[in-house]
Amino acid sequence: MSEVQIFEGAMDKGLEGIVACSTGVSSIQGNTLSYRGYTIEDLAANSTFEEVTFLLWNNRLPSAAELEKFQKSLAAEYALHPDFIKSLKTIPSKDVHAMQWLRTAFSLSSHWDKDANDNSNEANARKAIKMVAKMGTIICAFEAIRNGKEPVAPKADKSIAWNFMYMLKGQEPKSDLVKIFDTCLILHADHELNCSAFATRVTTSSLSDMYSAVTSAISALKGPLHGGANEQVMIMLKKIGTIEKAQEFVKDALAAKEKVMGIGHRVYKNGDPRAAILRKISDKLTAQIGEHKWYEMSILIDDTMNKEKGLMPNVDFYSATVYYSMGIPVDIYTPIFAVSRIAGWIAHADEQYANNRIYRPRGKWVGKTDQTWKPLSQR
């Protein structure tokens, strides 16, 4: 038998436990999530999404003057080119998954950026601003177009969180909801080497352009085991329907060895710190809209899964009821993830460009060996 090269330590289960790169963007240590050394609790309580984006890209918090300049640079890029909007209207939007539409639309947006294929640091800095500024505008355009309306133009004197809620519904949002939504953006901005961040880095490692890298990330985010989980959580809760049926649903799912969406995490073993923050927000908002049952159902599922399997909720679990309480369409939940996480994707792309080697892992061979071709007449 010919010699077959064997690679020890092949991890067929999602590269679990494998360290794929060094990063200074964000880290998970035990039950603590930090962006550039600042805990998520500290940032959620005190920061803004724009400030956190600056932090992720610059490895430090901005001064007041720097933050003002950064916010103005983002605001200057909120709006979409009229010709781009015309093109968006030609993308089928009826009975289409929102992330499918976003994947196409975001990739198409590169055609209106003269820096698209320039990988210099200066061009990438300009692209980064445009991408973060326009992501929310693109998603709100989708909501308008599929409902036969004209997209609402953003306001340059407002934040990304304010503008998203304004453009999505066409009316000025309440300040308390803007603050909550801004907190949600902070919580989702990055999460170490998650699936979409890894997809970003793999594409970046070929020295492809940043639009291609982020399009790869959007494609990864679409999956129900990644960003799509928050959408599935709300679908699950609606399917259950009542508090009385929630515990029975969980026990049936466990008996059938089915996954309960939004529960469990590959890295956190003692609970996702982002979920703890969102749990409090969910309690408050569901009560405000007179539909506290969604929170009560969530708590029951949470407690039952913890008791029965030792599993705790991840960020998707309570974000579903938070977004529902804010009147956001269920299929927009995952695109919202992209509005925030694009800040982290860009930070990972920048880090990869700065210290690059193309990703080229090996596969452990488990197929046949010593095969010999035979003519058709002998098979």
User: Residue 151: is its pLDDT beyond 90?
Assistant: yes
| Cβ atoms of residues 211 and 127 within 8 Å | yes
* Interaxial angle between packed helices 121-146 and 210-221, expressed in degrees from 0 to 180 and rounded to the nearest 10: 40
Tens digits of per-residue pLDDT, 70-121?
999 999 999 999 999 999 999 999 999 999 999 999 999 999 999 999 999 9
202 in helix, strand or coil? Answer: helix
Q: What residues form DSSP beta bridges with 27?
A: 34
Predicted confidence at residue 229, as pLDDT, reads 85
Predicted confidence at residue 145, as pLDDT, reads 98
Q: What's the pTM value of the predicted model, to 2 decimals?
A: 0.93
Predicted confidence at residue 267, as pLDDT, reads 83
Predicted confidence at residue 2, as pLDDT, reads 43
pLDDT average, residue stretch 270-284: 94
Q: How many percent of the chain have pLDDT more than 90?
A: 78
Q: Give alpha helix (H) positions in the chain.
A: 40-46, 49-58, 64-75, 82-88, 98-109, 121-146, 160-169, 175-188, 195-205, 210-221, 229-240, 243-255, 273-288, 293-309, 315-325, 333-354
pLDDT average, residue stretch 302-321: 90
Predicted confidence at residue 14, as pLDDT, reads 78
CB-based contacts of 276, cutoff 8 Å, min separation 6:
none
Q: How many angstroms separate the CA atoms of 265 and 306, rounded? A: 12
User: Residue 23: is its pLDDT beyond 90?
Assistant: yes
Tens digits of per-residue pLDDT, 155-170?
999 999 999 999 999 9
- DSSP characters over 35-76: ETTEEHHHHHHH--HHHHHHHHHHSSPPPHHHHHHHHHHHHT
Tens digits of per-residue pLDDT, 46-55?
999 999 999 9
Tens digits of per-residue pLDDT, 171-218?
999 999 999 999 999 999 999 999 999 999 999 999 999 999 999 999
Residues with active-site annotation: 265, 316
Predicted confidence at residue 374, as pLDDT, reads 96
More confident residue, 107 or 244: 107
Pull the structure tokens for residue 88: 């968006």
User: Residue 146: is its pLDDT beyond 80?
Assistant: yes
More confident residue, 158 or 313: 158
Predicted confidence at residue 1, as pLDDT, reads 38
What is the set of domains in the chain, with CATH numbers? 26-223+332-354 (1.10.580.10), 229-325 (1.10.230.10)
Predicted confidence at residue 103, as pLDDT, reads 98
Pull the structure tokens for residue 159: 């934040």
